Structure 1
Amino acid sequence: MKMRFFATVLAGLAVIFPQIVSAQAAADDWSYSVMPYLWLPTVNATLNFNDKSVETKPDSYLDNLDFAGMLAGAARKGRWVIGSDLMYMHFSDSQSKVRAGGRLDTGGDIDLKALVWGVAGGYSLILEPKANLDVLAGFRYLGLNTEVNTNIIFSRSAEKDVNIWAGIVGARGRANFGDSKWFANGYVDVGGGSSAFTWQGVAGVGYAFDWGDVILDYRYLYYSQSGRKPIEDMKMGGPALGVNFRF
């Protein structure tokens, strides 16, 4: 009787154990995603050029955006994840205001090039087929080149380069709407460094396919620096459309 019981248990383990090992191995495999996307933000910034302040107001982002290139990617192994986000934008705006002392010029032209690169790694607190929540830590770099042209205050064009490194912490989540392929996603981070404060928020919806996702977001990015630093404040916000490939 005992031998039959042990034989039954061993037979059951022989069936179940390979499935457990296979599922664990699948969970521990690396998975990857790559998402090219287009973000069309308006820009509202106050920049300091020595004793002069340059302000650019949001207008039509399609008119002001000369070039944009964005790419995000991630790698996951079990509950551990690491990702990177790289974007380059070139804006030109004829509606900038240049102030020096009490004098105001509304005819300034501003040319702004921005490179934003972020890397963050983290751990999934929730990792389910229909929902996940990651906590993240990493850094974000902002490289900004600004050129201002006006004939009244500047005798010639003035140019400023800014490089800001900031450590960031944040969270990213995703949840399906019931049993459908539609889902909601969100991301938020906050950080600082180089006498700067920054935060970013993303919220949107997407639709899942077998090969990946199509995602429509609203993204907002903010920077400020204390004192008479080059960036008094900079706000960038607008819609983003991405195609996420999973493999």
Structure 2
Amino acid sequence: MTLSHAKACGFTLSIILGLGSAAAQAADLPPPAAPVAPVMTSAWTYRFTPYGWLISLNGNQTVKGRTARVDASFIDILDASLGDGGTLFALMADIEARNGRFSLLGNFAGLKVSVDRGGVRTRSATPDIAGAIGASGDAKTSMAILEAGATYEVARFGSVAFDILAGARYWNQRAELSFDAGATVDIGDLSFRRNVAIARSGSVDWIDGFAGARVRIGLAPGQEFVVRGDVGGGGSNFSWQGIAAYSFDFAEKNGITYSGVIGYRALYADYAQGEGRRRYAFDMLMHGPVVGLSLRF
């Protein structure tokens, strides 16, 4: 074998050995990592707030053409409700689902309100009902108020946000007025219990549309002050609502932030239907402090 042939064979052997070594090293390398799927997160956040409304009433309630003027504080209503074996409220809750500037609102209030003769100031009847109305008597109203709507943030300046809002409010009521039967002349269309004549309305319901605005103010981390107002009508002649509330975070667990809520709510409706003995009317301002617990997630 010539010298040139030997060099060529050595060069070839070196290439083979090098390729084998590279292949062995490649075999020892870990396999390439599998592509990681992107984590999908929802842009929606939710807030659920059960609350109590310490309600007072000021206005007129008309059932079967008989009208009672009601001026009762929360203490008056509480005494009358508990004394009658009833409850002041059954269930109240507020919910909001937010995605960026847009949010959906929902609110439910179920109330059973009793006002005794101390909170019923005057009583009267429509002109076509003869006779006088007895001086004594109570007023009772059971109602459910269901609200649904949406808001949109139109402006923000630092920690202050301005929203516009619109929606609808559904009302369902059953009312009862009682009078001293001995002093009531025309009571042929009423029910009786002992010496008391009772006017019962049956179920009455209506829907109001509403529109308004809301201001949200971040006072400090975990603290917010909210003021809301709206006006409406449709089923009723006119309605309005005003709410002011302060919330403060106090705990966080398992992705849920817990906040206390204190504030004040006022809701007014002027609704009427029918004439004479068939007339039903609810011209009432309901207002009082609000206390609740908010869960945000």
TM class by shorter-chain length? 0.7 to 0.9
CA distance in 2, matches of 1:55, 1:91: 15
CA distance in 2, matches of 1:50, 1:29: 52
Instruction: Give the counterpart of 1:71 among 83, 87, 93.
Output: 93
**Count of residue pairs brought into register by the alignment:** 222
Q: In terms of mean alpha carbon deviation, does 130-139 or 234-243 score higher?
A: 130-139
Aligned amino acid, residue 112 of structure 2: H
Does structure 2 retain, via aligned residues, the 8 Å contact 1:111–1:146? yes
> How many angstroms does 1:176 deviate by?
2.2
Any residues of structure 2 matched to 1:1-247 within 5 Å, and which? 29-59=43-73, 60=75, 61-65=77-81, 66-68=87-89, 69-95=91-117, 96=120, 97-100=122-125, 103-126=132-155, 130-150=159-179, 151=181, 152-153=183-184, 154=187, 155-156=190-191, 157-160=198-201, 161-177=203-219, 179=220, 181-209=222-250, 210=252, 211-225=257-271, 230-247=280-297
Q: Which has the larger radius of gyration?
A: 2
TM-score by length of 1: 0.80
Q: In terms of mean alpha carbon deviation, does 92-101 or 118-127 score higher?
A: 92-101
> How many angstroms does 1:127 deviate by?
5.6
Does structure 2 retain, via aligned residues, the 8 Å contact 1:166–1:196? no
The aligned residue for residue 30 of structure 2 is none
Could you tell me which runs of 5 or more consecutive residues in structure 1 were left unpaired when the two chains were aligned.
1-21
CA distance in 1, matches of 2:249, 2:160: 13
> How many angstroms does 1:205 deviate by?
2.1
> How many angstroms does 1:77 deviate by?
1.2
CA distance in 2, matches of 1:36, 1:132: 24
Which is richer in strand? 1
Structure 1 ranges of 4+ moved more than 4 A = 226-229
Does structure 2 retain, via aligned residues, the 8 Å contact 1:182–1:206? yes
Q: Residues 125-162 of structure 1: CA distance to partner in whole angstroms, max 9, x if unpaired?
A: 24688333221111001111101222243452211132
Aligned amino acid, residue 235 of structure 1: L
Aligned amino acid, residue 49 of structure 2: M
Identity across matched positions, percent? 26
Does structure 1 retain, via aligned residues, the 8 Å contact 2:236–2:269? no
CA distance in 1, matches of 2:157, 2:174: 43
CA RMSD of aligned residues (A): 2.5
CA distance in 2, matches of 1:175, 1:146: 39
Does structure 2 retain, via aligned residues, the 8 Å contact 1:40–1:62? no
CA distance in 1, matches of 2:293, 2:48: 8
The aligned residue for residue 11 of structure 1 is none
TM-score by length of 2: 0.67
> How many angstroms does 1:232 deviate by?
4.9
